[in-house]
Amino acid sequence: MFRERSDDRFWYMRRPLQFFADIGVLSVAFFIAYLPAVNIQLGELYLETAIRQLPFVILVQIASLFVVGAYSLIWRYVSIEDISLFLKAAAISCVILIGFRLILSFTTFTLWQIPVSVILIDTMMGFGGLLGLRILRRFFYELNDKNRPTLGRKRARQMPTLIVGAGRMGSTLAKEMSGRRYAELEIRGFVDDDFAKKGGSVNRIKVLGSTKDLPKLVSDLNIEQVVIAIDQAQGKEIRRIMDVCAAIPVKARIVPSLNELAHGHVSVSRIRDVQIEDLLGREPVELDDENLYDFLSGKVVMVTGAGGSIGSELVRQIVNYSPSKLLLVERAEFFLFNVERELSSYRTEIAIFPLIADICDEPRMRDIFEQFKPEIIFHAAAHKHVPLMELNCSEAVKNNIFATRQIASLAGEFGASDFVMISTDKAVNPTSIMGASKRIAEIVVQELNDKYETNFTAVRFGNVLGSAGSVVPIFREQIQKGEPITVTHKDMTRYFMTIPEASQLVLQAGALGNGGEIFILDMGQPVKILDLAEDMIRLSGLTPYEDIDIQFTGIRDGEKLFEELEITGEDLLKTRHPKIFIGKIATYSDEQVVEILSEFRQAVDAKDASEIRRLFNKFLPEATISIGSKAAGADN
Q: Which of 84-98, 374-388, 455-469 has the lowest mean pLDDT?
A: 455-469
What's the CATH code of the domain at 532? 3.40.50.720
What is the rounded average pLDDT of the residues 172-200? 79
38 and 81: one domain? yes
Of residues 35 and 213, the one with the higher pLDDT is 213
- Half-sphere exposure of residue 21, counting CA atoms within 13 Å on the CB side? 16
pLDDT on residue 172: 81
* 210 and 116 together in one domain: no
Residue 43 belongs to some domain of the structure: yes
**pTM of this prediction?**
0.66
**pLDDT (0 to 100) of residue 10:** 39
Give 298-343 pLDDT, tens digit per residue.
999 999 999 998 999 999 999 989 999 999 999 999 999 999 999 8
Query: Residue 6: what pLDDT?
Result: 36
pLDDT of res. 466: 64
Residues 442 and 512 in one domain: yes
Query: What does the mean pLDDT of the chain come to?
Result: 82
Round to whole Å and give the CA distance between 447 and 544. 50
- Would residue 528 show up in a list of annotated catalytic residues for this protein? no
* pLDDT over 90, % of the chain: 33
Residues in the chain, how many? 636
The pLDDT assigned to 15 comes to 62
pLDDT value at position 182?
A: 53
Average confidence (pLDDT) over 593-598? 96
Residue 577 domain-assigned (yes or no): yes
Residues 397 and 427 in one domain: yes
Residue 1 lies in a domain: no
Structural domain includes residue 504: yes
Domain that holds residue 28: 11-147
Task: Please tell me whether residues 131 and 170 are part of one structural domain.
Answer: no
Count of structural domains, the chain? 3
Residue 633 lies in a domain: no
558 forms bridges with which residues in the sheet? none
**Together in a domain, 126 and 251:** no
Is 509 found in the same domain as 449?
A: yes
The one catalytic residue among 197, 384, 398, 426: 426
| 407 in the same domain as 259 | no
Q: Are strands 571-574 and 580-584 parallel, antiparallel or unpaired?
A: antiparallel
Confidence of residue 353 (pLDDT cuts 50, 70, 90): very high
Residue 282 domain flag: no
Q: 264 falls in which pLDDT band (50, 70, 90)? A: very low
The CA dihedral of 442, 448, 450, 455, to the nearest 10 degrees, is -80
pLDDT at 564: 65
Give percent above pLDDT 70 in the chain: 82
pLDDT at 109: 64
Q: Considering the domain boundaries, does residue 624 fall inside one?
A: no
Please give the C-alpha separations between residue 222 and each of 185, 188, 189, 193, 253, in angstroms, as whole numbers. 13, 10, 12, 21, 17
Average pLDDT over residues 63-69: 85
Per-residue pLDDT tens for 577-592?
777 888 767 678 899 9
Q: Using the Cα atoms of residue 430, residue 434, residue 437 and residue 438 in order, give the sign of their dihedral.
A: negative
* Final residue before a domain boundary, out of 220, 247, 274: 274
* Top-confidence residue, 85 or 286: 85
Whether residue 415 is found in the same domain as residue 323: yes
Has residue 115 got a pLDDT over 50? yes
At 510-527, the pLDDT tens digits run 988 888 888 888 777 778
CA dihedral (35, 39, 44, 46) positive or negative: negative
- Same domain as 247, residue 372: no
Helix (H) or strand (E) holding 254: strand 251-254
Residues 588 and 455 in one domain: yes
**Average pLDDT, stretch 529-554?**
86
pLDDT greater than 90 at residue 624: no
576 — phi, psi (to 5°)?
-65, -20
* pLDDT for the residue numbered 12: 36
Strands 201-202 and 205-209: antiparallel
- The pLDDT confidence band at residue 72, using thresholds 50, 70 and 90, is low
- Asked if residue 249 has a cis previous peptide bond (ω within 30° of 0), the answer is yes
Residues 90-104 pLDDT 10s: 899 999 998 888 887
Q: Is residue 635 part of a domain?
A: no
Instruction: Say whether both 262 and 293 belong to one domain.
Output: no
Whether the predicted pLDDT of 65 surpasses 90: no
Instruction: Name which residue leads in pLDDT, 439 or 147.
Output: 439
Residue 125 to residue 457: CA distance in whole angstroms: 59
pLDDT 10s digits, 486-506: 998 888 888 777 788 888 889
Tell which of 147, 176, 205 closes a domain. Answer: 147
- In this prediction, residue 613 has a pLDDT band, given cuts at 50, 70 and 90, of very high
Examine the pLDDT at 469 and tell me if it is beyond 70.
no
For residue 621, say if its preceding peptide bond is cis, omega within 30 degrees of 0. no
User: Residue range 388-392: average pLDDT?
Assistant: 92
> What is the structure's pLDDT at 118?
87
Domain boundary among 101, 127, 147: 147
